Amino acid sequence: MAAKKGGLGRGLDALLMEEPLKEGSVLNVSIYDVDTNPNQPRKSFDEERLNELSESIKRHGIMQPILVKKTNGRYLIIAGERRFRAARLAELKTVPVLLSDADENSIAELALVENIQRENLNPIEEAAAIRFLMKQHDLTQEEVSSRIGKSRPVVANSLRLLSLPQPVCELVSEGKLSSGHGRVLAGLNSASRQILLANRAAKDGWSVRRMEDEARLLDLREARSRKNRSQLDPELVALTRALRQKLGAKVAISGTNEKGKIVISYESEEALQNVYDALFGENQ
């Protein structure tokens, strides 16, 4: 059976049919003889949905065998870890497995394709799996895109998510931000700005369009700030630096030597206390 044209890349069926399985290769094996794959792309499993699948398995059994490779008398899961975990919750003693002779270089690809087909991966997991596949097989973005059935720009955008700071990656993994939000944030040139906008977007439920607008506004404000700083008299630039060192806080001066304003910024009660102590402490 050939993979359908227009389907997801080579497809899981096509990968399996490269090495036809013999009749009777679906076995019932002890659940204790099956091992999870440490390189499984999916790292998190929704407990509620896992419990729902477990209840279904209790009533109807496992309808689709778990794809495995036999190694040293044990069975390594290639695809179907979610079903396996649910089977353990259902306290099954045996599980049906489909034997595959996939080599080590094919196992990661099979696992990734299976998860993408079932849409089981969050954007960060998918990006990490694609990067792992590229390194494992020394693939280009073009080559990996053809294997998993996604365009090269989609693969490139997915990989960009891995450049985000860990707090932002966690928000994307948890579904509080989408991959679209992540792509906008990946275009910012500062981790602090990425985290700031990510937290605000997650808290206030911003759309991707709103995120783009806020990012542009932030760029505009910083550009104006840089312009103002560049126009300051050298004496005021030196004064700004001295005040920052003295107060241990962000200080911005705008205006001229005759007229202007000084803005002192703080981000916590402790920082405010430090500013107060620097200005009005007993030793002043």
Which strand ranges, in their side-by-side order, compose the sheet holding 26-30? 26-30, 94-99, 66-71, 74-79, 34-35
Each residue's pLDDT tens digit, 229-241: 556 677 777 888 8
Domains and CATH numbers, the chain: 11-157 (3.90.1530.10), 164-225 (no CATH), 232-280 (no CATH)
| Residue 253 pLDDT > 60 | yes
Tokens standing for 230?
């560049």
| Strand 74-79 with 250-255, pairing | unpaired
| Strand 34-35 with 74-79, pairing | parallel
d(CA 57, CA 89): 9
Each residue's pLDDT tens digit, 70-129: 888 898 888 788 888 889 888 999 999 888 777 666 666 676 676 665 556 789 988 888
d(CA 120, CA 40): 12
Higher pLDDT, 53 or 25: 53
Q: What is the mean pLDDT of the chain?
A: 79
User: What's the pLDDT at 237?
Assistant: 78
The per-residue b/e assignment along 31-50, b for 16 or more CB within 10 angstroms, e otherwise, is beebeebeebbbeeeeeeee
User: What's the pLDDT at 227?
Assistant: 63
Tokens standing for 93?
């003693």
User: What's the pLDDT at 277?
Assistant: 77
pTM assigned to the model: 0.51
Helix (H, G, I), strand (E, B), or coil: what is residue 11? helix
**Which positions are annotated as active-site residues?**
81
Each residue's pLDDT tens digit, 135-186: 877 888 888 888 777 888 888 888 989 999 999 999 999 899 999 999 999 8
